[in-house]
Amino acid sequence: AEVESDILRRVRALLRELDGHHPSCQSDRGMLRWTLHKKIEQDPSTGCVLVRILVKELERAERGDLRHYIIPLLHTLMYTLIQAPCVPDELCARVYDFCKRLLTLPQPFCTVGLHYAGRLRLERAAPGTLYQRMVISEHSLPGAPFPYQEKIFIFADPELLPEAICNALVTDTRAARLSLSPAGCMSCVVTHALQAALGDTCDIHGLRARLQALSPGDVERWFQQVVAAVEGSERGQHRARLESIYRGLLGSPPTGSAPREGLQGTPLPNPDISFHLWTEDEQLWKELVLFLRPLSQGCEPECPGQDLDAAVEIRDILGDCDCCGQSRFSVLSTDSGIERDLPAQEEPCGVPGVPGVPADTERSRLHRKGGIKKKLSPLDSVALLQAGSAVPAPGMGKGPGQVPRGSGVAPEPPAPPQRLHTARVVLLGDDRLLGRLAQAFHSLRKREARRVFLTARLDLQFYHIPVLPGQPSDPAGPEELCEVAGYLGRADPWYESNINTLCHIIPKLATMPSSPSRALVTDLFLTDVIAYYARMATQPVRFQVYSVKVLFQDPAQDPAEDVFLTELLTRVQDSPSHRGVS
């Protein structure tokens, strides 16, 4: 009863924060949700208690028409349900029925309800599925039944953020990436899946000790068996197959005699997060290409039959990489290679003894015109795009949708490539960084219009975390520099209470003096909040990207073009002879 009353008090504090009546809303906003989830992570046995309380609060908000509570509470509930070691099916059924009732409400409630209803249906059929799929995709683990991959890219402009904030984020994201190895992530998946299926009868301590004693190859073998059992079994067969895997690991069936020290859970590993200082215009495109075709795949062909130029072309894209630092020079020639296209000789000289045959004929047939040696831009390499394209190049053989010529059968169009990769790009800064994103996205779309590569294979999603360093030299106020974040907060109360509050928290944590308490807070809070935002943000808000071209009346001035998202500030110097802008 004491634990339940403490959790209820924390949930009510969250509701007061949503109403804007929390007494410490100016200093601790955004920390309440994080501290609540950290409490559940430290004591997994309270997960079911939190789920039960959140279900009651959601049903109360539905009856009282308090719709601004629904989406924030539902995100908190689902994040808890994914990490909980075992949740009774009757609780999952109540959440599932609530999500189905959201389908009768307008946007965005029906969209969020439909999204979570589908995920709950999977979780009820095979407990542990959501946890397993999240870890597999976020860490690119080799799970054949679920081949999806995700990655979080954090972009920040070093000219807009102080060096202390950039250094703190680099340190925290690097520590998060090195916290768990692929074998450790596989062990987490195996442990959580077995515990979700077997419940209290699972000896979690013995299971962890057994997995730690295995080699990485053996851990991957058991991991593949667990993934196949969760993804490809019915509800009845699912538990039976996992019990067989449990017996194979520990040598004994689950008997319920596990040591009772409270329910032990498996923490959710932090996702793969990379931090980038935005110093180049084409940096976003280059990082996305590397995500689709990693360096290990581009430097060495997978088999002798593949295009050998792919290894050279990936070096062109990665000119700054240590292992791919060689550059390639191409020859740009206007010679078609066809003999009849050779220009006619203006003053032919006869060959002695052979009438009517010019002297330079034989030599011209064997001589190729000199070309212009030009170093192509690394970002314009076409062979890399062809290597990743599903449509074969001309003369390279029949594709899967082609039929022999003259057969009388209409060729089938080639199947479009699947979007197996999801790139979650998190923008850390104010509206000026979003303007730079608009320019980079406009350039990416123009490149894709010439040849489709990224958009056909990659699900590209953008996220915005406002950060204001509080520099007094900025002429614009906080409201003017964070108009987009303010709009997103008004559209989604969950964003307002969990993400907009980071505007001043991140600079405060980054500038704290080095101490054990600072390391404890920042190493957990920053990466956890970014991961929570990227994982649970399911309500898209679409913006229009604008392109403007300014023409001057003075013919000596060239037209100016720019791309912007919400507002464009320009400074035009009037000509003394011609004043005005059209």
The alpha-carbon radius of gyration of the chain (Å, integer) is: 30
Query: What is the pTM (predicted TM-score) of this model?
Result: 0.76
Our CA angle for 567, 568, 572, nearest 5°, is 155
Note the pLDDT tens digit of each residue in 183-235. 999 999 999 999 988 888 888 888 999 999 999 999 999 999 999 999 876 66
**Domain ranges for the chain:** 2-127, 147-178+270-293+417-542, 182-250, 544-582
How far, in Å, are 106, 315, 318 from residue 328 at the CA level? Answer: 56, 8, 12
End-to-end CA distance of the chain: 72
- Which pLDDT does position 33 carry in this prediction? 86
CA angle centred on 418, ends 416 and 420, rounded to 5°: 160
Q: From CA 286, how far away is CA 280, in angstroms rounded? A: 10
Smallest Cα–Cα separation from 331: which of 370, 305, 388, 363?
370
Question: What per-residue confidence (pLDDT) applies to 233?
Answer: 67
- Report pLDDT digits (tens) over 80-103: 999 988 888 999 999 999 999 999
Identify the pLDDT of residue 323. Answer: 37
The per-residue pLDDT for 451 is: 84
504 and 470 Cβ atoms separated by less than 8 Å:
yes
Class of domain 147-178+270-293+417-542: alpha beta
Q: Are 91 and 193 in contact (CB under 8 A)?
A: no
Give the mean pLDDT per block of 10 residues along the chain (582 residues). 87 86 57 86 87 94 90 94 89 94 92 94 91 93 84 92 85 79 92 89 88 92 92 76 90 59 76 91 91 59 36 43 41 61 56 51 54 52 45 42 53 70 93 92 90 88 87 54 89 88 80 56 73 90 89 84 85 56 42
Triad 543, 544, 545: Cα angle to 5°? 120
